[in-house]
Chains A and B, each alone.
Chain A
């Protein structure tokens, strides 16, 4: 039942042989070596696996890899568009760094991907809107305060 699929990930065509039940999160991590996308639960609560599909934030643990064929996938590794070691950061990455919006860093890729979706839809969100938008992404380290500050800073910098 395995089948080869071609996924458009971070602007490049990537081919993988997958089972129909394979979840996008696992294919990204185990087969395409994009381990910046993390898995923190199995029930779509934690949001650590959030990626963009056609520009919208999606929890990649709830998408079958086969469903993602033909769509543009962006992971944390591709967010800034900087492929090499040029150090180019997306404004949200920069803001998370500036505002101490991360500690252990495990939830951070998903947080940033969700926040990027929020700011694309709503460039100047209120604090309440930011907190509401991040409810699907859990962080155990920061207490969210500096994550909210980072999203506000990134919004201000745009």
Chain B
């Protein structure tokens, strides 16, 4: 039987999704269901004088109205769960509904519970709020300056933390280097925009004391824990179900007030309560991504050898520290400053800053896109300054493939890599010299062609639990699986992670199917229900296959080991004399004397004739904790033409060569790359969350926030190299975020390359026609 590993089979989750038979959280309907709506602050920063809900309470259909004062003694504050050490982190309380102050437009003020969605929404208009407006501050750099309005009395100057990374001797490197380039870079604030808005539906049974909460969650076990903290119910009384989840991109990792509020309401009222945000609420309340102001310097020799990198970063956190927020611009960003290069001297200072804006947390790539972008941007500036080809500068600084495992100046040890191999493959697909010739010819004709080449690596497969503990992550980072074999030889795998589009119901079934020599149809993968699945840590950080998939593999191997014992007993043979072949254990040399997996499943489950000392049943649990992170890598190339009259950027080609190790399902891998690249191109070209000076979100609906559309985006040409990782039994790395990490600098570098003849070296993304046109006008000495 051919292996399932490596086969691009169709996804097993699709039939329910394409026929409208899937159940997302807002689809959940229970007897006696009530609907909740939350009144949101319209001010970015204000003292609360009064939240008067008297009229709302009397409105038709309204069952209850709760304010910050009503819940403050009953619900705990919203926790921050990544307490990064050694940075003087200050996490002021985040009340589930505002009590004294509001700190961003969207901060919750009151929750109405009513018999219908419409009644709940209508009653919000009857709540009378008196604010004493305070000054807003939306820019993380300005928020640290003297005289800036302060959000929290516990945090003078708004600086939540000052985190440093250092390796080598940066001062010496810059003092001695003949060439230095410097650039201020703004990492535009982004709206994750999972197509499914967040929702929560809570049902508390006063008779059993059990709370069941359906949540749009990437990590139901983490939400169970956070709900336990906020509701003060013990963890074993809480069941979290993440049913079908319509995209997350990081925005469905954190704990939010909303799921705690509906849980509270259900406990108070003894009826189920559901809340679903609308899109403008999603844009105001669900976490945002990126939002850095960075000052970066890179130094090196005249012949292209990079010797030092130094950064100073103001990372916006928004009004409160969200669940994982402190870890994103530090551990997942600053530690990746070496990228795929041998940079001996690195120093970074990162300020986490509270601003009167929506909280910022993990968004696809989470810290790594920002690190890759600043590094790749600086290398192009450096190459231009020393007059060398940017591809050659990259090539001469890449970590050589024979040096792995390789420890970079920030202290991380990369597992495996062949960075030159991926670069070579990309250059086989793209005739670089020919393009440079076309570019030179085009320039003479007044055409502005450009190419961007990114060589990247990233940290994912999060990660060893011991490291998680050491860096202040409030949980483990192992993952888990139960592989249960039924009497009829079919299998269920219950997993700790929670796929929500990444296809592990298929790829994990491929792993199990291979292990047992059974068709993929005989394996079901179950995720998302804390009642059924073992403790896991969720789907994010491109960890699900590398960590949870490895747990599936190990559990399946344990099942098979037991099956072998039973086979030896039934065949009256020594275990050592058995071999696994064609889906059965048979005596070596006598293939007819054997037991199939189906026969062993039956015999184990009926237990009529077990080997001495072996328990009945055929299932195993595995908790897999990797020995290291995994570091996928690759080369992306993009070519563009810029219309200098309009500032429009046209993408000519986009090539992505990624190495995520061996691929279980190449079709799914390509899908991840396509989606990631396009999401990154959105960041590079058109997406930006814009606040005005008063802290009003101007991009508050999909009319204003430019999510990429089909006609705006190119086709992505994909290819792969395969470098296994030694840190897990599958050899796999992650591929969920590579596209987003690599594509942003690739596009921006291509545009800056195109505009080089005009003397343009940098334009802050997103490269909208207006921004590109303004840069061109400025370069030509015209009006800005």
Contact = CB atoms under 8 A, between A and B. Distances in A.
Contacts of B196: 38, 40, 104, 106
Most buried by B among A26, A40, A43, A98: A40
A147 interface: yes
Interface in B664-720: 667-668, 670-671, 674-679, 701-703, 707-711, 713, 715-716
B710 A131 contact: yes
A108 to B, nearest CB: 6
Nearest to B33: A30
A37 B16 CA distance: 13
B246 A106 contact: yes
A104 B501 contact: yes
Contacts of A132: 710-711
A35 B20 contact: yes
A41 interface: yes
Contacts of B702: 41, 43, 45-46, 138
A43 B703 contact: yes
B20 A140 contact: no
Nearest to B27: A35
A29 B26 CA distance: 9
B18 A96 contact: yes
A62 interface: no
Most chain A CB inside 10 Å of its own CB: which residue of B24, B195, B501 = B195
Interface stretch (A52-60, A63-71, A72-80): A72-80
Given A42-B280, A103-B501, A143-B677, A108 B18 contact: yes
A145 B674 contact: yes
B500 interface: yes
A146 B671 contact: yes
A102 interface: yes
A105 B501 contact: yes
Contact of A75 (B20, B193, B674): B20
A40 B20 contact: no
A124 B29 CA distance: 41
B15 A87 contact: yes
Contacts of A80: 19
Contacts of B21: 36, 77
B11 A100 contact: yes
A15 interface: no
Interface string B1-24: 000000000110111111111111
Contact of B675 (A34, A43, A131, A141): A141
Contacts, number: 176
A143 B674 contact: yes
Contacts of B713: 143-144
Contacts of A117: none
B436 to A, nearest CB: 28
Contacts of A30: 29, 117
Interface residues of A, number: 58
B194 interface: yes
A54 to B, nearest CB: 20
B247 interface: yes
Contacts of B244: 104-105
Contact of B29 (A33, A45, A48): A33
Contacts of A43: 279, 701-703
Interface size class of B (residues with CB under 8 A): 35 or more
A108 B246 CA distance: 10
B278, B280, B711 — most chain A CB neighbours (10 Å): B711
Contacts of B501: 103-105, 141
A77 B27 CA distance: 14
Given A36-B19, A97-B11, A139-B195, A45 B710 contact: no
A46 B16 CA distance: 21
B534 interface: no
A22 B197 CA distance: 20
Contacts of A147: 710
A140 B707 contact: yes
Nearest to B283: A41
Q: Name the residue in A21, A108, A130 with the highest tally of chain B Cβ atoms < 10 Å from its Cβ.
A: A108
Contacts of A37: 20
B682 to A, nearest CB: 9
B78 to A, nearest CB: 26
B249 interface: yes
Interface in B219-247: 244-247
B118 interface: yes
Contact of A143 (B18, B23, B194, B679): B679
A150 B10 CA distance: 13
Given A40-B197, A138-B707, A140-B679, A96 B19 contact: no
Given A36-B21, A104-B245, A143-B675, A128 B711 contact: yes
Contacts of A130: 710
B675 A97 contact: no
B741 to A, nearest CB: 15
Given A42-B280, A104-B245, A144-B678, A77 B19 contact: yes
A19 B670 CA distance: 46
B342 interface: no
Residue of A96, A106, A131, A137 with highest tally of chain B CB at under 10 A: A106
B728 interface: no
B701 to A, nearest CB: 5
B705 to A, nearest CB: 9
Contacts of A75: 20
B502 interface: yes
Given A43-B703, A105-B17, A112-B18, A140 B675 contact: yes
A138 B195 contact: yes
Interface string A113-152: 0000000000000001011101101111111111110000
Contact of B118 (A19, A109, A144): A19
Given A48-B195, A103-B502, A143-B679, A89 B19 contact: yes
Contact of B24 (A38, A93, A138, A148): A38
27 contacts: A26-B117, A29-B27, A37-B20, A38-B246, A39-B197, A40-B197, A41-B278, A42-B280, A45-B701, A80-B19, A93-B18, A96-B18, A97-B18, A100-B667, A102-B14, A104-B244, A106-B24, A106-B194, A128-B711, A131-B710, A137-B710, A139-B710, A140-B195, A141-B247, A143-B677, A143-B739, A146-B671
Interface of A: 19, 21-22, 26, 29-30, 33-43, 45-46, 48, 75-77, 80, 87, 89, 93, 96-98, 100, 102-109, 112, 128, 130-132, 134-135, 137-148
Interface of B: 10-11, 13-24, 26-27, 29, 117-118, 193-197, 244-247, 249, 278-280, 500-503, 667-668, 670-671, 674-679, 701-703, 707-711, 713, 715-716, 739
Given A41-B279, A43-B701, 6 more contacts: A36-B19, A45-B702, A76-B20, A102-B14, A104-B244, A142-B675
6 shortest interchain CB distances as A-B pairs: A36-B20, A106-B246, A105-B17, A143-B678, A104-B501, A103-B501
